[in-house]
Structure 1
């Protein structure tokens, strides 16, 4: 199958994961990028509304991205047509993510737009959701990605 912009229609979906949240990674990520006490220390976290050590939302996004790319690389042709993202809209951290959680994701193509300034690419809007092992949504976002268009000679 080909994954040029022309081949993708709103309503298609894909899933990725599962991936497990590792305690040491939660602390290492927080130490480097989001050093708030509830991401770094069990005792400090216990005194907050989290009640225990919680992953940074940004770490959850990074884990999501790693799992998505792993999935794309497993689908012949997908990675070759993907041109990266233009941004994210409507990012929501809906529930805390804790060490030991097992997360999985799904993405649904919501909209496709022809680029007016770059005829060699199109724009795709994907609704992505991350779910934990209790079937609770922990993260949602709308990504705006660029995808190659089919060459005129192809």
Structure 2
């Protein structure tokens, strides 16, 4: 299926704008993106994620146990925090333009996230380059920072991802037009 999932855009009579992330050539090193909206994390979110990933850490599940630990309450699973931090960036940066994630480094959780906290995300483009072996694709290095509603940094990660260039998009559109004609 093409990037326009249901083909509805092809039948529209007016101007059509398809929501997508950025192509490699649209990304500028040093640019900071503040993603909206934030995401308020619920007890159900944390319990579900912890259960589905089989992480039975009592700090996530057992309120009585967690009450006796240094933070005095259950912590949001850090992998849920990381996944949500990255997820908050998708619509603005990589929706429909990503080839795949290549890896993560410098992952840190300086402060905990608790039930009821809201996670806000921002991303800085640290580096980008065209792929030497994959025409129409390039590698981008992104730094993601997650803050709670008080502005405290609760998560940080550097991610390398492969994204398409706008040339790739033009070739793909030309190929679709040719096969339709």
- TM-score, length of structure 2 as denominator length: 0.75
Matched, 1:30 2:46: no
> Cα distance 1:147–1:43, how it changes in 2: closer, same or farther (>3 A)?
same
Moved over 3 A (4+): none
Q: Which has the higher contact order (CA 8 A, sep 6+)?
A: 1
Partner of 2:32: 13
Alpha-carbon distance in 1 for matches of 2:31, 2:148:
22
Counterparts of 1:1-150 in structure 2 under 5 Å? 3-16=22-35, 17-33=37-53, 34-69=55-90, 71-72=91-92, 79-150=95-166
Q: 3-state SS of the aligned residue for 1:80?
A: coil
Runs of 5+ in structure 1 lacking a partner? none
* Bigger shift: residues 4-13 or 117-126: 4-13
Q: CA deviation at 1:152?
A: 7.5
Provide the rounded CA distance (Å) in 2 between the counterparts of 1:89 and 1:5. 21
In the alignment, the residues of structure 2 paired with residue 32 and residue 48 of structure 1 have an alpha-carbon distance, to the nearest angstrom, of 24
> Which one has a larger percent strand, Structure 1 or Structure 2?
1
| CA distance, structure 2, for counterparts of residue 112 and residue 41 of structure 1 | 43
Q: Could you tell me how far 1:80 is from its partner in structure 2? A: 2.8
User: How many Å separate the matches in 1 of 2:167 and 2:62?
Assistant: 53
**CA offsets, 1:8-46, max 9 Å, x none?**
210122122311010122122222322100100111111
Deviation (angstroms), 1:151: 2.1
Q: Over residues 54-98 of structure 1, what are the superposed CA-to-partner deviations in whole Å (9 max), with x where a residue is unaligned?
A: 1110011122233223x33xx8xx523222211111110111110
Q: How large is the Cα RMSD of the aligned pairs?
A: 2.2
Tell me how far 1:50 sits from its aligned partner.
Answer: 2.3
Structure showing greater Rg: 2
